[in-house]
Chains A and B, each alone.
Chain A
Amino acid sequence: MEAIRTEALTKHYKVGFWRPRPYLALDSLSLRVNQGEVFGFLGPNGAGKTTTLKLLMQLIYPTSGQAEILGRPVGDPEVRRLIGYLPENPYFYDYLTAEELLEYFAGLFGYEKSDRRSRASRLLDEVGIGAERRLQLRKFSKGMLQRVGIAQALVNDPSVVFFDEPMSGLDPLGRRAIRELILSLRDRGCTVFFSSHVLSDAEALCSRVAILAAGRLVAEGPLSELLAFRVRGWELVVGGLTAAALERVKQGGRVAQATPLGAERFALQLTLATPPEQIVTELVQHGAQIVSLNPIRDTLEDLFVRRVTDAPMARGLDLEAVPSADRPVRS
Protein backbone atom coordinates (compact mmCIF):
# COMPACT_ATOMS: atom_id res chain seq x y z
CA MET A 1 0.00 0.00 0.00
CA GLU A 2 1.33 3.41 -0.98
CA ALA A 3 1.43 6.29 1.48
CA ILE A 4 -0.05 8.65 -1.12
CA ARG A 5 -1.70 7.87 -4.44
CA THR A 6 -3.34 10.29 -6.82
CA GLU A 7 -5.13 9.30 -9.99
CA ALA A 8 -5.61 11.93 -12.71
CA LEU A 9 -6.18 14.55 -10.04
CA THR A 10 -7.38 17.74 -11.71
CA LYS A 11 -8.44 21.12 -10.46
CA HIS A 12 -9.58 24.10 -12.40
CA TYR A 13 -10.82 27.35 -10.95
CA LYS A 14 -13.17 29.86 -12.43
CA VAL A 15 -11.47 33.25 -12.77
CA GLY A 16 -13.07 36.57 -13.69
CA PHE A 17 -16.32 38.01 -12.37
CA TRP A 18 -18.49 38.91 -15.37
CA ARG A 19 -17.29 36.22 -17.76
CA PRO A 20 -15.78 33.45 -15.64
CA ARG A 21 -13.04 31.54 -17.42
CA PRO A 22 -11.64 28.23 -16.19
CA TYR A 23 -8.02 28.28 -15.10
CA LEU A 24 -6.22 24.96 -14.95
CA ALA A 25 -4.37 24.77 -11.64
CA LEU A 26 -3.62 21.05 -11.77
CA ASP A 27 -3.81 18.78 -14.76
CA SER A 28 -4.30 15.02 -14.35
CA LEU A 29 -1.72 14.46 -11.65
CA SER A 30 -1.00 10.78 -11.07
CA LEU A 31 1.51 10.16 -8.31
CA ARG A 32 2.68 7.31 -6.11
CA VAL A 33 4.56 7.95 -2.90
CA ASN A 34 5.84 4.93 -1.00
CA GLN A 35 5.65 4.56 2.74
CA GLY A 36 8.71 5.66 4.66
CA GLU A 37 10.26 7.79 1.93
CA VAL A 38 11.05 11.47 1.78
CA PHE A 39 9.36 12.69 -1.37
CA GLY A 40 10.20 16.08 -2.87
CA PHE A 41 7.42 17.85 -4.72
CA LEU A 42 9.17 20.48 -6.77
CA GLY A 43 8.18 23.23 -9.11
CA PRO A 44 8.43 26.97 -9.66
CA ASN A 45 6.03 29.37 -7.99
CA GLY A 46 2.50 28.84 -9.25
CA ALA A 47 3.21 25.36 -10.59
CA GLY A 48 0.36 23.78 -8.63
CA LYS A 49 2.23 22.39 -5.61
CA THR A 50 0.07 24.10 -3.00
CA THR A 51 -3.06 23.25 -4.98
CA THR A 52 -2.09 19.58 -4.81
CA LEU A 53 -1.50 19.77 -1.07
CA LYS A 54 -4.81 21.54 -0.55
CA LEU A 55 -6.57 18.84 -2.56
CA LEU A 56 -4.94 16.18 -0.39
CA MET A 57 -6.03 18.07 2.74
CA GLN A 58 -9.58 18.53 1.34
CA LEU A 59 -9.28 22.29 1.68
CA ILE A 60 -10.37 22.39 -1.95
CA TYR A 61 -12.25 19.75 -3.90
CA PRO A 62 -11.03 18.24 -7.16
CA THR A 63 -12.71 18.93 -10.48
CA SER A 64 -11.98 15.31 -11.34
CA GLY A 65 -9.70 12.49 -10.31
CA GLN A 66 -9.05 10.76 -7.00
CA ALA A 67 -6.57 10.80 -4.17
CA GLU A 68 -5.81 8.34 -1.40
CA ILE A 69 -3.65 8.48 1.70
CA LEU A 70 -2.61 5.18 3.24
CA GLY A 71 -5.18 3.38 1.12
CA ARG A 72 -8.12 5.53 2.23
CA PRO A 73 -9.85 8.23 0.19
CA VAL A 74 -8.74 11.69 1.32
CA GLY A 75 -12.32 12.50 2.34
CA ASP A 76 -12.30 9.71 4.95
CA PRO A 77 -12.27 11.40 8.41
CA GLU A 78 -9.91 8.67 9.72
CA VAL A 79 -7.20 9.97 7.36
CA ARG A 80 -6.93 13.14 9.47
CA ARG A 81 -5.78 11.06 12.45
CA LEU A 82 -2.86 9.67 10.47
CA ILE A 83 -1.44 12.79 8.88
CA GLY A 84 0.22 16.07 9.72
CA TYR A 85 0.23 19.22 7.59
CA LEU A 86 2.31 22.37 7.59
CA PRO A 87 0.74 24.98 5.29
CA GLU A 88 2.84 27.49 3.37
CA ASN A 89 3.48 30.65 5.46
CA PRO A 90 1.42 29.31 8.34
CA TYR A 91 -0.70 31.57 10.51
CA PHE A 92 -2.13 30.57 13.83
CA TYR A 93 -4.37 32.18 16.44
CA ASP A 94 -2.15 34.98 17.61
CA TYR A 95 -3.88 35.33 20.97
CA LEU A 96 -2.68 31.85 21.98
CA THR A 97 0.76 30.91 23.22
CA ALA A 98 2.72 28.24 21.35
CA GLU A 99 1.99 25.81 24.18
CA GLU A 100 -1.73 26.54 24.14
CA LEU A 101 -1.92 26.15 20.37
CA LEU A 102 -0.30 22.73 20.45
CA GLU A 103 -2.45 21.63 23.37
CA TYR A 104 -5.55 22.81 21.49
CA PHE A 105 -4.62 20.87 18.38
CA ALA A 106 -3.68 17.80 20.46
CA GLY A 107 -7.13 18.03 22.05
CA LEU A 108 -8.74 17.69 18.62
CA PHE A 109 -7.10 14.27 18.39
CA GLY A 110 -8.77 13.32 21.67
CA TYR A 111 -5.65 13.13 23.83
CA GLU A 112 -6.00 13.51 27.60
CA LYS A 113 -4.96 16.81 29.15
CA SER A 114 -1.69 15.50 30.63
CA ASP A 115 -0.80 13.86 27.31
CA ARG A 116 -1.50 17.13 25.46
CA ARG A 117 0.89 18.97 27.77
CA SER A 118 3.70 16.46 27.39
CA ARG A 119 3.30 16.32 23.59
CA ALA A 120 3.35 20.11 23.32
CA SER A 121 6.42 20.35 25.51
CA ARG A 122 8.33 17.60 23.68
CA LEU A 123 7.58 18.97 20.21
CA LEU A 124 8.45 22.56 21.11
CA ASP A 125 11.77 21.27 22.45
CA GLU A 126 12.28 19.35 19.22
CA VAL A 127 11.79 22.41 17.00
CA GLY A 128 13.88 24.65 19.24
CA ILE A 129 11.21 26.87 20.85
CA GLY A 130 12.43 27.57 24.38
CA ALA A 131 11.01 29.96 26.95
CA GLU A 132 9.16 31.81 24.17
CA ARG A 133 6.56 29.04 24.23
CA ARG A 134 4.67 31.02 26.88
CA LEU A 135 4.44 34.14 24.72
CA GLN A 136 1.44 34.90 22.57
CA LEU A 137 2.07 33.98 18.93
CA ARG A 138 1.53 37.60 17.86
CA LYS A 139 5.01 38.24 19.27
CA PHE A 140 6.64 35.50 17.18
CA SER A 141 8.92 36.10 14.19
CA LYS A 142 8.22 34.37 10.86
CA GLY A 143 10.89 31.76 11.50
CA MET A 144 9.54 30.98 14.96
CA LEU A 145 6.01 30.63 13.57
CA GLN A 146 7.40 28.22 10.99
CA ARG A 147 8.87 26.11 13.80
CA VAL A 148 5.56 26.13 15.65
CA GLY A 149 3.91 25.14 12.36
CA ILE A 150 6.19 22.14 12.07
CA ALA A 151 5.53 21.18 15.69
CA GLN A 152 1.75 21.29 15.22
CA ALA A 153 2.05 19.08 12.15
CA LEU A 154 3.65 16.41 14.31
CA VAL A 155 1.35 16.65 17.32
CA ASN A 156 -0.31 13.28 16.58
CA ASP A 157 2.88 11.36 15.63
CA PRO A 158 1.62 11.14 12.04
CA SER A 159 2.39 8.32 9.63
CA VAL A 160 2.45 10.74 6.69
CA VAL A 161 3.45 14.35 7.01
CA PHE A 162 2.95 17.08 4.41
CA PHE A 163 5.22 20.11 4.52
CA ASP A 164 4.52 23.02 2.19
CA GLU A 165 7.78 24.97 1.83
CA PRO A 166 9.09 23.90 5.26
CA MET A 167 12.31 25.91 5.05
CA SER A 168 10.56 29.19 4.28
CA GLY A 169 11.56 31.97 6.67
CA LEU A 170 14.17 29.91 8.50
CA ASP A 171 17.75 31.02 9.11
CA PRO A 172 20.62 28.63 8.18
CA LEU A 173 20.61 27.04 11.64
CA GLY A 174 16.86 26.60 11.50
CA ARG A 175 17.08 25.02 8.04
CA ARG A 176 19.68 22.61 9.26
CA ALA A 177 17.57 21.68 12.29
CA ILE A 178 14.54 21.03 10.09
CA ARG A 179 16.59 18.94 7.68
CA GLU A 180 17.73 16.80 10.59
CA LEU A 181 14.14 16.59 11.83
CA ILE A 182 12.92 15.40 8.43
CA LEU A 183 15.61 12.73 8.32
CA SER A 184 14.76 11.60 11.85
CA LEU A 185 11.08 11.38 10.84
CA ARG A 186 12.10 9.18 7.93
CA ASP A 187 14.17 7.00 10.27
CA ARG A 188 11.09 6.56 12.47
CA GLY A 189 9.19 5.25 9.43
CA CYS A 190 7.20 8.41 8.75
CA THR A 191 6.55 9.34 5.13
CA VAL A 192 7.51 12.95 4.42
CA PHE A 193 5.98 14.70 1.41
CA PHE A 194 7.36 18.17 1.03
CA SER A 195 6.92 20.81 -1.57
CA SER A 196 9.71 23.24 -2.24
CA HIS A 197 11.34 25.33 -4.88
CA VAL A 198 14.64 25.19 -3.01
CA LEU A 199 16.40 22.41 -4.88
CA SER A 200 19.32 21.98 -2.50
CA ASP A 201 16.87 20.87 0.20
CA ALA A 202 15.36 18.28 -2.11
CA GLU A 203 18.77 17.07 -3.22
CA ALA A 204 19.90 16.66 0.38
CA LEU A 205 16.77 14.96 1.68
CA CYS A 206 14.72 13.20 -0.95
CA SER A 207 14.87 9.68 -2.22
CA ARG A 208 12.30 10.47 -4.94
CA VAL A 209 11.04 13.67 -6.48
CA ALA A 210 8.33 14.91 -8.78
CA ILE A 211 8.62 18.11 -10.77
CA LEU A 212 5.51 20.08 -11.57
CA ALA A 213 5.29 22.89 -14.12
CA ALA A 214 2.20 24.82 -15.19
CA GLY A 215 0.00 22.37 -13.31
CA ARG A 216 1.42 19.32 -15.05
CA LEU A 217 3.79 16.60 -13.89
CA VAL A 218 6.95 16.87 -15.99
CA ALA A 219 9.29 14.45 -14.20
CA GLU A 220 9.01 11.85 -11.49
CA GLY A 221 11.24 9.17 -10.06
CA PRO A 222 14.17 8.37 -7.81
CA LEU A 223 16.64 11.24 -7.77
CA SER A 224 19.46 8.83 -8.58
CA GLU A 225 17.67 7.66 -11.75
CA LEU A 226 16.61 11.10 -12.90
CA LEU A 227 20.13 12.44 -12.66
CA ALA A 228 22.42 9.41 -13.12
CA PHE A 229 22.43 8.75 -16.83
CA ARG A 230 22.72 12.21 -18.20
CA VAL A 231 26.46 12.83 -18.44
CA ARG A 232 27.38 16.20 -19.93
CA GLY A 233 31.16 15.66 -20.15
CA TRP A 234 34.14 14.72 -18.01
CA GLU A 235 36.31 16.46 -15.48
CA LEU A 236 39.91 15.31 -15.53
CA VAL A 237 42.37 16.48 -12.88
CA VAL A 238 46.03 16.04 -13.84
CA GLY A 239 49.39 16.92 -12.28
CA GLY A 240 52.81 17.42 -13.94
CA LEU A 241 51.21 18.86 -17.06
CA THR A 242 53.56 21.10 -19.01
CA ALA A 243 52.34 24.07 -21.04
CA ALA A 244 53.36 22.33 -24.28
CA ALA A 245 51.50 19.15 -23.39
CA LEU A 246 48.43 21.20 -22.42
CA GLU A 247 48.47 22.98 -25.79
CA ARG A 248 48.66 19.62 -27.61
CA VAL A 249 45.61 18.09 -25.82
CA LYS A 250 43.61 21.28 -26.31
CA GLN A 251 43.91 20.92 -30.09
CA GLY A 252 40.71 20.08 -31.92
CA GLY A 253 38.44 21.60 -29.30
CA ARG A 254 38.56 18.46 -27.20
CA VAL A 255 39.02 20.40 -23.94
CA ALA A 256 36.21 22.82 -23.20
CA GLN A 257 38.02 24.49 -20.32
CA ALA A 258 41.34 24.19 -18.49
CA THR A 259 41.42 25.59 -14.96
CA PRO A 260 44.88 25.89 -13.30
CA LEU A 261 44.84 24.46 -9.77
CA GLY A 262 48.51 25.05 -8.89
CA ALA A 263 51.96 24.35 -10.27
CA GLU A 264 51.44 22.21 -13.44
CA ARG A 265 48.16 20.99 -11.97
CA PHE A 266 44.98 21.51 -14.03
CA ALA A 267 41.30 20.61 -14.03
CA LEU A 268 40.32 19.85 -17.63
CA GLN A 269 36.72 19.81 -18.75
CA LEU A 270 36.34 17.41 -21.65
CA THR A 271 33.45 17.60 -24.06
CA LEU A 272 31.11 14.63 -24.28
CA ALA A 273 32.37 13.91 -27.81
CA THR A 274 35.90 13.34 -26.55
CA PRO A 275 36.64 9.78 -25.38
CA PRO A 276 38.38 10.34 -22.01
CA GLU A 277 40.55 7.22 -22.53
CA GLN A 278 42.21 8.87 -25.55
CA ILE A 279 43.12 12.05 -23.64
CA VAL A 280 44.29 10.04 -20.62
CA THR A 281 46.61 7.97 -22.85
CA GLU A 282 48.04 11.10 -24.48
CA LEU A 283 48.58 12.82 -21.14
CA VAL A 284 50.36 9.81 -19.66
CA GLN A 285 52.60 9.66 -22.74
CA HIS A 286 53.55 13.30 -22.04
CA GLY A 287 54.52 12.43 -18.49
CA ALA A 288 51.46 13.83 -16.70
CA GLN A 289 49.94 12.08 -13.69
CA ILE A 290 46.18 11.39 -13.61
CA VAL A 291 44.70 12.54 -10.28
CA SER A 292 41.02 11.91 -10.95
CA LEU A 293 38.48 11.43 -13.73
CA ASN A 294 34.81 12.08 -13.06
CA PRO A 295 31.72 12.39 -15.22
CA ILE A 296 30.00 15.80 -15.16
CA ARG A 297 26.34 15.02 -14.48
CA ASP A 298 23.21 17.09 -14.43
CA THR A 299 22.35 18.60 -11.09
CA LEU A 300 18.76 18.68 -9.92
CA GLU A 301 18.79 22.35 -10.85
CA ASP A 302 19.76 21.54 -14.46
CA LEU A 303 17.02 18.94 -14.68
CA PHE A 304 14.53 21.31 -13.10
CA VAL A 305 15.32 24.22 -15.41
CA ARG A 306 15.21 22.01 -18.51
CA ARG A 307 11.90 20.34 -17.65
CA VAL A 308 10.22 23.49 -16.44
CA THR A 309 11.22 25.61 -19.42
CA ASP A 310 10.13 22.84 -21.80
CA ALA A 311 6.67 22.64 -20.20
CA PRO A 312 3.80 24.38 -22.04
CA MET A 313 2.65 27.41 -20.08
CA ALA A 314 -0.88 27.96 -21.40
CA ARG A 315 -3.28 27.29 -18.53
CA GLY A 316 -6.45 29.00 -19.60
CA LEU A 317 -9.07 26.64 -20.91
CA ASP A 318 -11.18 27.19 -23.95
CA LEU A 319 -14.73 27.32 -22.59
CA GLU A 320 -16.11 25.94 -25.85
CA ALA A 321 -13.75 23.03 -25.60
CA VAL A 322 -14.72 22.11 -22.04
CA PRO A 323 -17.30 19.38 -22.23
CA SER A 324 -20.05 19.18 -19.68
CA ALA A 325 -18.06 16.35 -18.15
CA ASP A 326 -15.47 17.53 -15.70
CA ARG A 327 -12.34 16.66 -17.64
CA PRO A 328 -10.69 19.94 -18.67
CA VAL A 329 -8.93 20.34 -21.98
CA ARG A 330 -6.01 22.64 -22.60
CA SER A 331 -6.45 25.33 -25.19
Chain B
Amino acid sequence: MSRDVPVKMFRFKPGDAAPRYQTYRVTVPDAANVIDVIEAVWRQDASLTFRHACHHASCGTCAVRLNGYERLPCIYSVAEALQGRDEMLIEPLRHFPLVSDLVVDVAGFFQKQEAAGLVITRTAETSLDGRRYSPSELFDQAGKLTDRPYNRFENCVECGICISACPTMAATDKFFGPAGLAAINRARQQTDDPQRKSLLLALADGEQGVWRCHSAFECTHACPQDVDPAGAIMSLRHDLAAQKIKRLFGGQG
Protein backbone atom coordinates (compact mmCIF):
# COMPACT_ATOMS: atom_id res chain seq x y z
CA MET B 1 0.00 0.00 0.00
CA SER B 2 1.24 3.49 -0.76
CA ARG B 3 0.20 7.03 0.06
CA ASP B 4 0.42 10.43 -1.57
CA VAL B 5 2.41 12.92 0.45
CA PRO B 6 2.26 16.68 -0.13
CA VAL B 7 5.60 18.22 0.82
CA LYS B 8 6.53 21.86 1.30
CA MET B 9 10.29 21.94 0.79
CA PHE B 10 12.72 24.71 1.77
CA ARG B 11 14.77 25.75 -1.27
CA PHE B 12 17.84 27.94 -1.42
CA LYS B 13 20.80 28.01 -3.78
CA PRO B 14 23.97 30.08 -3.45
CA GLY B 15 23.30 33.40 -5.17
CA ASP B 16 19.56 33.40 -4.39
CA ALA B 17 18.34 36.63 -2.81
CA ALA B 18 16.19 34.76 -0.30
CA PRO B 19 15.01 31.22 0.44
CA ARG B 20 11.68 30.05 -0.96
CA TYR B 21 9.37 27.09 -0.46
CA GLN B 22 8.42 24.67 -3.21
CA THR B 23 5.54 22.24 -2.98
CA TYR B 24 5.82 18.66 -4.27
CA ARG B 25 3.54 15.65 -4.20
CA VAL B 26 5.20 12.25 -3.98
CA THR B 27 4.03 8.68 -3.56
CA VAL B 28 5.74 6.51 -0.95
CA PRO B 29 4.90 3.20 0.77
CA ASP B 30 2.64 3.46 3.83
CA ALA B 31 5.49 2.36 6.09
CA ALA B 32 7.95 4.88 4.62
CA ASN B 33 10.09 7.19 6.67
CA VAL B 34 10.59 10.88 5.91
CA ILE B 35 13.98 10.24 4.25
CA ASP B 36 12.05 8.21 1.62
CA VAL B 37 9.92 11.29 0.96
CA ILE B 38 13.02 13.48 0.54
CA GLU B 39 14.52 10.95 -1.87
CA ALA B 40 11.23 10.74 -3.78
CA VAL B 41 11.25 14.54 -4.13
CA TRP B 42 14.85 14.34 -5.39
CA ARG B 43 13.80 11.81 -8.04
CA GLN B 44 11.25 14.39 -9.25
CA ASP B 45 13.63 17.31 -8.98
CA ALA B 46 17.33 16.45 -9.03
CA SER B 47 18.26 20.05 -8.19
CA LEU B 48 17.33 19.34 -4.54
CA THR B 49 20.41 18.96 -2.34
CA PHE B 50 20.34 17.05 0.91
CA ARG B 51 22.70 14.93 3.00
CA HIS B 52 22.17 11.30 3.85
CA ALA B 53 24.20 8.16 4.38
CA CYS B 54 23.27 5.29 6.67
CA HIS B 55 19.44 5.42 6.69
CA HIS B 56 19.32 4.01 10.23
CA ALA B 57 20.23 6.82 12.67
CA SER B 58 23.85 5.94 13.17
CA CYS B 59 25.47 8.69 11.09
CA GLY B 60 23.32 11.72 11.95
CA THR B 61 23.92 13.12 8.47
CA CYS B 62 20.32 13.62 7.35
CA ALA B 63 19.08 15.76 10.29
CA VAL B 64 16.52 18.38 9.24
CA ARG B 65 13.67 20.34 10.74
CA LEU B 66 10.42 18.54 10.12
CA ASN B 67 7.27 20.59 10.67
CA GLY B 68 9.43 23.09 12.59
CA TYR B 69 11.12 20.56 14.87
CA GLU B 70 14.49 18.84 14.61
CA ARG B 71 14.30 15.19 13.53
CA LEU B 72 16.32 12.42 11.94
CA PRO B 73 14.16 11.74 8.86
CA CYS B 74 15.68 8.29 8.44
CA ILE B 75 13.87 7.01 11.54
CA TYR B 76 10.84 9.28 11.58
CA SER B 77 7.75 7.81 9.94
CA VAL B 78 5.67 9.60 7.35
CA ALA B 79 2.53 8.58 9.25
CA GLU B 80 3.77 10.38 12.36
CA ALA B 81 4.98 13.39 10.37
CA LEU B 82 1.53 13.84 8.82
CA GLN B 83 -0.44 13.34 12.03
CA GLY B 84 -2.95 16.19 12.19
CA ARG B 85 -1.43 17.85 9.10
CA ASP B 86 -2.25 17.97 5.39
CA GLU B 87 1.30 18.76 4.33
CA MET B 88 4.82 17.97 5.49
CA LEU B 89 7.21 20.92 5.97
CA ILE B 90 10.91 20.15 5.55
CA GLU B 91 13.61 22.73 6.34
CA PRO B 92 17.34 22.71 7.11
CA LEU B 93 18.71 22.85 10.67
CA ARG B 94 18.91 26.30 12.27
CA HIS B 95 22.02 28.05 13.62
CA PHE B 96 24.34 26.71 10.90
CA PRO B 97 25.46 28.57 7.77
CA LEU B 98 23.20 27.46 4.94
CA VAL B 99 24.95 25.91 1.93
CA SER B 100 22.13 24.76 -0.33
CA ASP B 101 18.52 23.58 0.22
CA LEU B 102 18.68 21.17 3.19
CA VAL B 103 22.49 21.19 3.42
CA VAL B 104 24.14 23.25 6.16
CA ASP B 105 27.82 23.77 6.91
CA VAL B 106 28.71 21.63 9.93
CA ALA B 107 32.46 22.40 9.95
CA GLY B 108 32.27 24.67 13.01
CA PHE B 109 30.27 22.05 14.88
CA PHE B 110 32.91 19.36 14.29
CA GLN B 111 35.72 21.73 15.26
CA LYS B 112 34.06 22.21 18.64
CA GLN B 113 33.61 18.45 19.03
CA GLU B 114 37.28 17.90 18.24
CA ALA B 115 38.33 20.47 20.84
CA ALA B 116 37.04 18.10 23.53
CA GLY B 117 39.36 15.39 22.23
CA LEU B 118 36.75 12.74 21.58
CA VAL B 119 33.18 12.08 20.74
CA ILE B 120 30.53 10.93 23.17
CA THR B 121 30.27 7.23 23.93
CA ARG B 122 27.92 5.15 26.00
CA THR B 123 28.63 4.96 29.72
CA ALA B 124 29.21 1.21 29.52
CA GLU B 125 30.03 -1.02 26.59
CA THR B 126 29.14 -4.65 26.20
CA SER B 127 32.25 -6.35 24.99
CA LEU B 128 32.59 -9.27 22.65
CA ASP B 129 33.81 -11.38 25.59
CA GLY B 130 30.51 -10.83 27.40
CA ARG B 131 31.84 -8.40 30.01
CA ARG B 132 30.77 -4.81 30.44
CA TYR B 133 33.69 -2.41 30.49
CA SER B 134 33.59 1.12 31.78
CA PRO B 135 34.93 3.75 29.34
CA SER B 136 38.06 4.17 31.47
CA GLU B 137 38.85 0.52 30.84
CA LEU B 138 38.34 0.87 27.10
CA PHE B 139 40.53 3.93 26.64
CA ASP B 140 44.06 4.54 27.83
CA GLN B 141 45.14 7.78 29.50
CA ALA B 142 45.95 9.38 26.17
CA GLY B 143 42.37 8.75 25.07
CA LYS B 144 43.38 5.99 22.64
CA LEU B 145 41.31 2.83 22.38
CA THR B 146 42.74 -0.19 24.12
CA ASP B 147 42.78 -3.63 22.49
CA ARG B 148 39.87 -4.99 24.53
CA PRO B 149 37.36 -6.93 22.41
CA TYR B 150 34.57 -4.38 22.62
CA ASN B 151 31.57 -3.32 20.61
CA ARG B 152 31.77 0.44 20.51
CA PHE B 153 28.48 2.24 20.16
CA GLU B 154 28.31 5.98 20.23
CA ASN B 155 25.33 7.73 21.68
CA CYS B 156 26.07 11.02 19.96
CA VAL B 157 25.79 10.66 16.20
CA GLU B 158 26.91 14.27 15.73
CA CYS B 159 23.74 15.17 13.85
CA GLY B 160 23.72 18.80 15.04
CA ILE B 161 20.09 18.61 16.17
CA CYS B 162 20.97 19.96 19.62
CA ILE B 163 22.62 23.02 18.03
CA SER B 164 19.52 23.74 15.98
CA ALA B 165 17.20 23.25 18.97
CA CYS B 166 19.25 25.36 21.41
CA PRO B 167 17.86 28.92 21.75
CA THR B 168 21.21 30.18 23.03
CA MET B 169 22.82 29.21 19.71
CA ALA B 170 20.42 31.73 18.13
CA ALA B 171 22.28 34.46 19.99
CA THR B 172 25.85 33.53 19.11
CA ASP B 173 27.89 31.05 17.09
CA LYS B 174 30.71 31.45 19.61
CA PHE B 175 28.85 29.45 22.24
CA PHE B 176 30.54 26.07 22.57
CA GLY B 177 27.14 24.43 22.19
CA PRO B 178 25.42 21.42 23.76
CA ALA B 179 27.21 18.64 21.84
CA GLY B 180 30.66 20.17 22.37
CA LEU B 181 30.09 20.65 26.10
CA ALA B 182 28.68 17.13 26.43
CA ALA B 183 31.81 15.84 24.68
CA ILE B 184 33.99 17.75 27.17
CA ASN B 185 32.08 16.22 30.07
CA ARG B 186 32.44 12.77 28.54
CA ALA B 187 36.18 13.24 27.94
CA ARG B 188 36.54 14.32 31.56
CA GLN B 189 34.85 11.15 32.80
CA GLN B 190 37.13 9.05 30.65
CA THR B 191 40.44 10.16 32.04
CA ASP B 192 42.01 9.69 35.45
CA ASP B 193 44.71 12.27 34.69
CA PRO B 194 44.05 15.27 37.02
CA GLN B 195 45.85 17.66 34.67
CA ARG B 196 43.70 16.63 31.70
CA LYS B 197 40.56 16.82 33.83
CA SER B 198 41.53 20.32 34.88
CA LEU B 199 42.23 21.38 31.27
CA LEU B 200 38.87 20.05 30.11
CA LEU B 201 37.07 21.83 32.95
CA ALA B 202 38.84 25.07 31.99
CA LEU B 203 37.71 24.56 28.39
CA ALA B 204 34.09 24.41 29.55
CA ASP B 205 34.47 27.49 31.75
CA GLY B 206 34.05 31.05 30.52
CA GLU B 207 31.52 33.25 28.81
CA GLN B 208 31.07 30.98 25.78
CA GLY B 209 31.19 27.78 27.81
CA VAL B 210 28.69 26.31 30.23
CA TRP B 211 27.77 29.70 31.69
CA ARG B 212 26.30 30.81 28.37
CA CYS B 213 23.62 28.09 28.57
CA HIS B 214 20.23 29.45 29.65
CA SER B 215 18.81 26.14 30.83
CA ALA B 216 16.09 25.67 28.22
CA PHE B 217 16.93 21.93 28.16
CA GLU B 218 15.93 21.84 24.49
CA CYS B 219 19.11 19.97 23.52
CA THR B 220 18.16 17.05 25.74
CA HIS B 221 14.52 17.26 24.65
CA ALA B 222 15.41 17.17 20.94
CA CYS B 223 18.33 14.69 21.01
CA PRO B 224 17.30 11.55 19.12
CA GLN B 225 19.96 9.48 20.88
CA ASP B 226 19.43 10.32 24.58
CA VAL B 227 22.85 11.94 24.98
CA ASP B 228 21.41 14.41 27.55
CA PRO B 229 23.73 17.35 26.75
CA ALA B 230 21.87 19.56 29.27
CA GLY B 231 22.65 17.08 32.05
CA ALA B 232 26.32 17.17 31.02
CA ILE B 233 26.33 20.98 31.06
CA MET B 234 24.80 21.04 34.55
CA SER B 235 27.35 18.49 35.76
CA LEU B 236 30.18 20.68 34.45
CA ARG B 237 28.61 23.73 36.10
CA HIS B 238 28.33 21.87 39.40
CA ASP B 239 32.03 20.96 39.37
CA LEU B 240 33.11 24.42 38.18
CA ALA B 241 31.01 26.10 40.89
CA ALA B 242 32.52 23.78 43.54
CA GLN B 243 36.02 24.54 42.22
CA LYS B 244 35.43 28.30 42.34
CA ILE B 245 34.00 28.14 45.88
CA LYS B 246 37.00 26.09 47.04
CA ARG B 247 39.41 28.58 45.46
CA LEU B 248 37.52 31.46 47.05
CA PHE B 249 38.35 30.02 50.45
CA GLY B 250 41.96 29.35 49.51
CA GLY B 251 41.58 25.67 48.64
CA GLN B 252 42.98 23.87 45.62
CA GLY B 253 40.15 23.50 43.10
User: Real complex partners, A and B?
Assistant: no
Chain A residues within CB distance 8 Å of chain B: none
